Amino acid sequence: MDVQAILSAATGNHGAVNPYAAIAYLVSGILFILALRGLSSPATAQSGNRFGVIGMTIAVVTTMITHAPEAMVLDGDGSFVLDTVGLIEILVAIGIGAVIGIVMARKIAMTAMPQLVAAFHSLVGLAAVAVAAAAYLNPGAFGIADAAGQIFTVSRVEMGLGIAIGAITFSGSVIAFLKLNGNMSGAPIMLPLRHVINLGTLAAIIGLVAYFTVDQSPWVFWTVTGLSFVIGFLLIIPIGGADMPVVVSMLNSYSGWAAAAMGFTLHNTAMIITGALVGSSGAILSYIMCRAMNRSFISVIAGGFGADAAASGGGSKEQRPWKPGSADDAAFLMSQAENVIIVPGYGMAVAQAQHALREMADVLKKEGVNVKYAIHPVAGRMPGHMNVLLAEANVPYDEVFELEDINGEFAQADVAFVIGANDVTNPAAKTDKTSPIYGMPVLDVEKAKTVLFVKRSMGGVGYAGVDNDVFYMDQTMMLLGDAKKMADDIVKALNGGGH
């Protein structure tokens, strides 16, 4: 069979949609759905990752095959010759990306996973901007313009939305990365007239995208791009650290919609399917996270959470009596308990204490103690952060419970062992209407007979900037110090029988 016949079989005739490519993209989409389903639970996360890898491999290979004619040129005798330069460039780009991905996966600590996710979102947004810019500068190569070079109206809509969402995703993700990585304060940055500025900028972007459908002048396109970059910064800067899990899932959704819009521009079914899956799942996750905090999505985006926290988090802190404890005290109390509920938080992640915590739980279980883990939906800096860390430490999945499943058990618990979780255990969310976290469902650790609270020092407060009344309750013993060292010392005390 000659080259032309092979290409015809692989890509279809006269630009028609190739049924084999459509089936391959459909299979990829199904695998992506299975990947999302698998990633919804630590028990199936590995299989979910495998489905995602297989699906993406099929999508990439299919795209390269269906675009093979674009790398073919006619030789002098009329035969087709492969333009290896373009193919090599693609393979080199894939190789570079693969190397970077492998190195990052091996080197990045689990504590840095939230900012890594934010960085990945920024790259997706930037890629959408790059594709939209390339399509605008050379629409003929993308098949989205007539003979006179006028971009089709529907393609202008897709391009305008894609570059706007992509630019917002990029700049917003950069700010989220800086906040999560500690390069920028997690406290809200409140600009004067920020709501007026934000609404005005958004209105200008929407108006210009609409105007772009009738005028494809460069000033319209690049103005939309510039304003979109700006509004991404403006939207995330006023959002406080307590809302970062929602911001991460929201940016995840944005990156998906940006990819879907660019899928239409590139006429790539796989990008449309994948982008829609990521966009819709991210939006659903954002909604779930907002419900977990009893917040409206609009109030989070408007930067309302933390507006009061900036005020309450500052100033002098009232000196109140609290009860200090030691690793030996904690070991004795937990070894005498029947039911212990462990509440992990970001402090555990920072100290990398999950392995020592699991070892502590294993020792307690050998002594006949019933141990469970209570996970708040927004504990940490991204959705599922604590679940990932506990899974890394091989904590049994059947010992890990979400807030709604375990909150009623604290009243029967002998010990609530809180390790680095502040905001998600703060009863002010239930009683203090002036608190910036008021209305957010929290873990009822104060109902336990004894609360052991591991904290680096009494001077710090949670990411929302609010002090926690649990610190000063009669049944609370504060275990001050590094979370990992404290857990290790408790294990030593349990094993040494000093209690």
Residue 446 C-alpha from the chain's centroid: 30
* 464: Cβ contacts below 8 Å, ≥ 6 apart: 240, 241, 242, 305, 306, 309, 313, 423, 436, 437
Helix %, strand %, coil % of the chain (to 5): 65, 10, 30
**Assigned token pair, 70:** 């674009």
CB 350 within 8 A of CB 460: no
Is residue 423 part of the annotated active site? The answer reads yes
Residue 135 C-alpha from the chain's centroid: 29
CB 304 within 8 A of CB 59: no
Which residue among 423, 444, 488, 489 is the active-site one?
423
Q: Where do the H-state alpha helices sit in 302-427?
A: 309-313, 327-335, 346-351, 354-366, 385-392, 403-406
- Distance CA(260)–CA(268), nearest Å, equals 9
- Distance CA(486)–CA(384), nearest Å, equals 24
- H or E element in which residue 72 lies: strand 72-74
Amino acid letter for position 439:
G
Residues taking part in catalysis? 423
